[in-house]
């Protein structure tokens, strides 16, 4: 399945039906009077969250949607039929933004949640509505009003409890394979994941959480380099970040330096996301000599002045993954219980997620505007634009798998 997490669509609500101009005409009944009926209301456009929809790919092929218009009124006081509403199913986790005003219209975070994005037109009135004691034969009607038109930006942010953060080839995909049944691509050569992968981690019966693996970040990602900035917004819904670190990089780079570069990119992208709880996971420990492991871990922790939780694992052999999964489950359950008991804490959490999503959206808009300005400047000078094109920020034509498996 092709993964698409953004789409622009235009929706048009149905027009209201016109009122009818009619007079009663029956044998032996003189001056029967006006009997023109009202028109029908136009159909509205709704968006509804549906677990069965995983991606925005359908909205890349069809971008214009129109609800049914109301029918015109008829004689004998017959009201025209109202237009049917149009309901568009979108993935759970979709944010709806008005492209013209940049207003966030809604955030569909639960299955079945729906929002009206375009109001249908109001029906017109038939001439029977204008009858009075002084105007017994009105020839006046009113037309139906136009339905609302909107240009919408749909943004999908995956719903996950835990997000994986790190450089390409740090072992994020291997980690998610080790703790869940998700099967993202892994190989014995360097490459980067192209799409987010989701996996359900089952700790015990009726105890599980969802983990998300996004494409790896590189230095300059917050300025648009690489794929990571396109998917960093998916981390704004998570409650905990796991920073996966390659302790035996093939190019010999310093792990602490790699961590600092990712932290800097995270802070530039979203200061609020940077302040999210983050645990350090030192991966590929099996590639280090056993007598050097503790000392290497100590060096990284001291270089970072790290005060949070630290785990040393070997994801490929599942060494050390069970303790971290248990601790994550306990952490998430404790957070949820505290939010249930304290409504103010729940409100703070909601506000934090809103700020993260707003910061990520504004950052992506800034990058898109800067890229467009650079392209126009290059065109004015007759130079070839050497930056990313808009196509580079769109999804490739190749089919890639979206993984969400228990």
DSSP string, 195-230: S-EEEEEEEETTEEEEEEE-PPP-TTGGGT-SSHHH
Cβ contact 41:13 at 8 Å: no
- Same domain membership, residue 102 and residue 229: no
128 annotated as ligand-binding: no
70 lies in which domain range? Answer: 1-156
Q: Residue 314 annotated as binding?
A: yes
Q: What pLDDT, on the 0 to 100 scale, is given for residue 292?
A: 87
At residue 397, what are phi and psi to the nearest 5 degrees? -80, -15
170 lies in the same domain as 152: no
223-282 pLDDT, tens digit per residue, is 555 455 666 777 777 888 899 998 888 777 888 888 888 888 888 888 888 888 899 999
Q: Tell me the per-residue pLDDT of 145-198, one tens digit each, with 9 for 90 and over.
A: 999 999 998 888 777 888 888 888 888 888 888 888 766 555 454 445 556 777
Using the predicted structure, report yes or no on whether residue 399 has a pLDDT greater than 50: no
The response to whether 143 counts as a known ligand-binding position is no
289 annotated to a ligand binding site:
no
Q: Is 4 one of the annotated binding-site residues? A: no
Output the CA–CA distances (angstroms, integers) from residue 382 to 368, 375, 377, 378, in the order listed. Answer: 21, 10, 9, 6
Strands annotated E in 272-348: 278-283, 310-312
Tens-digit pLDDT profile for residues 120-157:
999 999 998 999 888 888 988 999 999 999 999 888 87
Residue 12: predicted pLDDT:
95
pLDDT tens-digit map of 376-392: 887 777 777 655 544 44
- Work out the average pLDDT over 348-361: 79
3-class SS at 278? Answer: strand
Q: 215 and 318: one domain?
A: yes
Separation between Cα atoms, residue 313 and residue 44, nearest integer Å: 53
Q: Which of 131, 156, 181 is the last residue of a domain?
A: 156
Instruction: Indicate which CATH number applies to the domain containing 259.
Output: 3.40.50.300
Asked whether residue 194 is marked as a ligand-binding residue, the answer is yes
Q: How confident is the model at residue 66 (pLDDT cuts 50, 70, 90)?
A: very high
Q: Is 225 annotated as a binding residue?
A: no
State the total domains in the chain: 2
Q: Confirm if 228 and 221 have CB atoms less than 8 A apart.
A: yes
Longest dimension (CA), the chain: 111
CB half-sphere exposure, 354, CA atoms < 13 A: 10
Residue 54 has pLDDT above 80, yes or no: no
Q: Of 156, 180, 198, which marks where a domain is finished?
A: 156
The predicted pLDDT at position 335 comes to 87
**Is residue 219 domain-shared with residue 327, that is, in the same domain?**
yes
- Is 163 marked within a binding site? no
Cα–Cα distance for residue pair 369/296, rounded to 1 Å? 43
pLDDT at 101: 87
By percentage, how much of the chain surpasses pLDDT 70? 86
- Of 256, 262, 247, nearest to 312 (Cα)? 247
Say which residues have a Cβ less than 8 Å from residue 116's Cβ, sequence separation at least 6: 44, 45, 46
Same domain, 195 and 281: yes
Asked if 273 and 183 sit in the same domain, the reply is: yes
Report whether 178 belongs to an annotated binding site: no
195 annotated as a binding-site residue: yes
Tell me what pLDDT residue 230 has: 62
Q: At what angle do helices 321-341 and 172-179 cross, to 10 degrees?
A: 80
Pair (78, 224) in one structural domain:
no
Q: Can you tell me the distance from the alpha carbon of 169 to that of 167, in angstroms, rounded to the nearest whole number?
A: 6
Residues 128 and 214 in one domain: no
- CATH number for 97: 2.70.210.12
Domain boundary among 111, 127, 156: 156
pTM of the predicted protein model: 0.66
**Same domain, residue pair 118 and 176:** no
Joined together, the tokens standing for residue 225 give 């380099």
In degrees, rounded to 5, the angle at the alpha carbon of residue 231 between the alpha carbons of residues 226 and 233 is 130
Query: Are residue 59 and residue 196 in the same domain, yes or no?
Result: no
| 218 assigned binding-site residue | no
Using CA atoms, how far residue 77 sits from 15, 34, 112, 247, in Å, is: 20, 9, 38, 80
pLDDT the model gives residue 179: 85
Give the per-residue pLDDT at 398: 35
**Same-domain status, 265 and 243:** yes
Show the tokens assigned to 385. 């634009």
Residue 293 to residue 286: CA distance in whole angstroms:
9
On whether both 131 and 8 belong to a single domain, the answer is yes
Kind of pairing, strands 162-165 and 45-49? unpaired
The C-alpha atoms of residue 199 and residue 177 are separated, in whole angstroms, by: 8
Binding residue per annotation — 30? no
Does 173 appear as a known binding residue?
Answer: yes
Q: Residues 281-286: what's their mean pLDDT?
A: 90
């Amino acid at each position: 399945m092709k993964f698409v997490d953004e789409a622009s669509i235009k929706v048009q609500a149905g027009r209201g039906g016109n009122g009818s101009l009619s007079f009663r005409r029956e044998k032996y009944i003189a001056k029967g009077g006006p009997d023109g009926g009202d028109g029908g209301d136009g159909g509205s456009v709704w968006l509804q969250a549906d677990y069965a929809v995983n991606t925005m790919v359908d909205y890349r092929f069809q971008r214009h949607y129109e609800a049914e218009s109301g029918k015109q009124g008829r004689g004998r006081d017959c009201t025209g039929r109202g237009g049917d509403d149009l309901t568009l199913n979108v993935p759970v986790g979709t944010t709806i933004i008005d492209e013209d005003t940049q207003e966030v219209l809604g955030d569909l975070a639960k299955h079945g949640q729906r929002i009206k994005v375009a109001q249908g037109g109001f029906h017109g009135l038939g001439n029977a509505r204008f009858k009075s004691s002084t105007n017994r034969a009105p020839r006046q009607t009113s037309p139906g009003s136009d339905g609302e038109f909107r240009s919408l930006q749909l943004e999908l942010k995956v719903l996950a409890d835990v997000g994986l953060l790190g450089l390409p080839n740090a072992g994020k995909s291997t980690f998610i394979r080790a703790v869940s049944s998700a099967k993202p691509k892994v190989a014995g050569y360097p490459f980067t994941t192209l799409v987010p992968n989701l996996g359900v981690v089952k700790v015990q019966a009726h105890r599980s959480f969802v983990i998300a693996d996004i494409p790896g970040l590189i230095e300059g990602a917050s300025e648009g380099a690489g794929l990571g900035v396109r998917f960093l917004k998916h981390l704004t819904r998570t409650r905990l970040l796991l920073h996966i670190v390659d302790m035996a990089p093939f190019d010999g780079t310093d792990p602490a330096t790699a961590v600092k570069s990712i932290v800097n990119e995270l802070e530039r992208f979203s200061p609020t996301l940077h302040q999210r709880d983050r645990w350090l996971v030192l991966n590929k420990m099996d590639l280090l000599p056993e007598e050097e492991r503790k000392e290497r871990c100590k060096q990284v922790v001291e270089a970072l002045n790290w005060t949070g939780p630290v785990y040393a694992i070997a994801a490929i052999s599942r060494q050390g993954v069970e303790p971290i999964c248990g601790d994550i489950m306990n952490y998430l359950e404790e957070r949820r219980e505290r939010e249930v008991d304290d409504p103010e804490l729940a409100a703070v959490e909601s506000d934090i997620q809103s700020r993260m999503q707003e910061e990520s959206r504004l950052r992506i808009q800034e990058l898109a505007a800067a890229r467009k300005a650079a392209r126009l400047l290059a065109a004015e000078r007759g130079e070839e634009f050497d930056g990313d094109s808009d196509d580079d920020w769109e999804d490739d034509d190749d089919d890639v798998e979206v993984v969400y498996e228990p």
